[in-house]
Amino acid sequence: MNETLLAQAQAAKSASRKLAGLSTSVKNLALEGIAEALMARQQEILAENAIDVERARDNGLADAPLNRLRLTPEKIAGIAADVRTVAKLPDPIGEVIDGQRLPNGLDISRRRVPLGVLAAIFESRPNVTVDIASLCLKSGNACVLRGGSEAIRSNTVLARIAREAETEAGVPEGALQLIESTDRALVAELLTLRQYIDIVVPRGGAELIRFVAENARMPVLTGGVGVCHTYVDASADLDKALAIAVNAKTRNWSICNALDTLLVHSSVAEDFLPRISKSWHEAGVELRGDERTLATLLRQADGSFARGATPEDFGQEFLAPVAAVRVVDSLDEALEHIAEYGTGHSDAIITEDFSAARRFMDEVDTAVVYVNASTQFTDGAQFGLGAEIIDSTQKTIARGPTGLREITTYKWIVQGDGHTRP
């Protein structure tokens, strides 16, 4: 066992006991201090990030993770704003969830408490360092963070700034731990430290998530891989559908909530496909269509904007300016496609038919279901959570954007007056 890693996990566990009782005012003061420090030390952050980006580019990092790695003044301002939003959110710790007086006179209730120590393993997104640190702080959890090697300098400076600001505000030392070694063997060791770490969150590609889920000795909160669908129904307002499909694909194609597959009802395909083909083409998006899509576009003289889809294109998270398109004959066929190829992340229907919308909401087994809206909204900040630990695609612990309440648990509080059990 790596001694430094072990010491960090032990320090986090020790700090978590003090964090559990930390006042809301101290936590909020610390969060405001982090936000101010991020803005004040912006040039320091950008300088370290530029080194990471240059090295990652030289090493051949793909466009999608390179885009996520790169920080800008606007991104830093956004990160700071999210921290301030977390500071303004209600403190979940100590909340009484429910309670009752039993017939024997015992008062019994459930009170919200922190999980303890949260470990997060993530790739190429330095903003995650601050997002998770701020959410853990507000929810009374200590955290152990292990970012990807491509962002090591960025993560190190961000963690140092956050740690200094929160310690100055009165947060116990050890509450925020960053593993600065890039040795991959440490991930496997981290996953064995069940006595110190209460939950682990992998944020990254399918390979990382699979490795953590198969090797962790503690509970795992998984998600992040999103094969996201948008279905244009027979009753859709095609102007709405066009705006939504363009936004869902082109606003940011490198994130997990970006559109991957567009399903179009055959009754509107002749009208809609040429419009989306042209709009995506102008935005630099490659359309990969099934046979019916290509045939429709060829009849409309827009076939030059598309290429044929392979079977692997359906069920693919592209994280690139590429989208698969399929023509379907019914809502049932769209639902079957999503059931077969979806990952339970974010799926949308564009429709003016209430019954179709209701069926889609009820039958699509996904964390976030949209009606007449872009899947790009699946984000903790957009959902009013300030930030997010992860977009969870599982059905236990938490689902969808995971914020403060989702990284707490509860304890039973039983109050009596000399009660003994007969």
With CA atoms as reference, report the closest residue to 327 among 353, 363, 289: 289
Residue 302 has pLDDT above 70, yes or no: no
The whole-number pLDDT of residue 303 equals 65
Residue 108 has pLDDT above 70, yes or no: yes
User: By the 8 A CB rule, do 131 and 107 touch?
Assistant: no
The whole-number pLDDT of residue 219 equals 95
Burial 156-180 (b: 16+ CB within 10 A, else e): bbbbbbbbebbbebebbebbbbbbb
pTM, rounded to two decimals: 0.89
Q: Averaged over 370-394, what is the pLDDT?
A: 92
Residue tagged 């209430």 (tokens): 354
The whole-number pLDDT of residue 301 equals 64
Residue 395 has pLDDT above 90, yes or no: no
Percent of the chain with pLDDT over 70: 99
Which phi and psi angles does 148 have, rounded to 5°? Answer: -70, 155
The 3-state secondary structure of 346-412, one letter per residue: EEEEECCCHHHHHHHHHHCCCCEEEECCCHHHCCCCCCCCCCCCCEECCCCCCCEECCCHHHEEEEE
Question: pLDDT tens digits, residue range 303-360?
Answer: 678 899 999 999 999 999 999 999 999 999 999 999 999 999 999 999 999 999 999 9
Which phi and psi angles does 275 have, rounded to 5°? Answer: -70, -45
Question: pLDDT tens digits, residue range 39-60?
Answer: 999 999 999 999 999 999 999 9
Encoded tokens for 212? 């953590």
d(CA 357, CA 350): 8
d(CA 122, CA 134): 16
Question: pLDDT tens digits, residue range 120-139?
Answer: 999 888 999 999 999 999 99
Encoded tokens for 99? 């309670």
pLDDT tier at 201, thresholds 50, 70, 90 = very high
What residues contact 10, with CB distance under 8 A and at least 6 apart?
196
d(CA 368, CA 361): 9
Q: Averaged over 248-274, what is the pLDDT?
A: 96
Percent of the chain with pLDDT over 90: 89
The whole-number pLDDT of residue 254 equals 87
For the chain, the domains span: 3-221+402-415, 228-377
The whole-number pLDDT of residue 63 equals 82
Q: What CATH number does domain 3-221+402-415 carry, 3.30.70.20, 3.40.605.10, 3.90.1720.10, 3.20.20.70? A: 3.40.605.10
User: By the 8 A CB rule, do 191 and 200 touch?
Assistant: yes
pLDDT tier at 206, thresholds 50, 70, 90 = confident
**What mean pLDDT is reported for the chain?**
95
Question: pLDDT tens digits, residue range 249-260?
Answer: 999 998 899 999
Return the CATH fold of 228-377: Aldehyde Dehydrogenase; Chain A, domain 2 (3.40.309)
Q: What counts of helices (H) and strands (E) characterise the chain? A: 14, 16
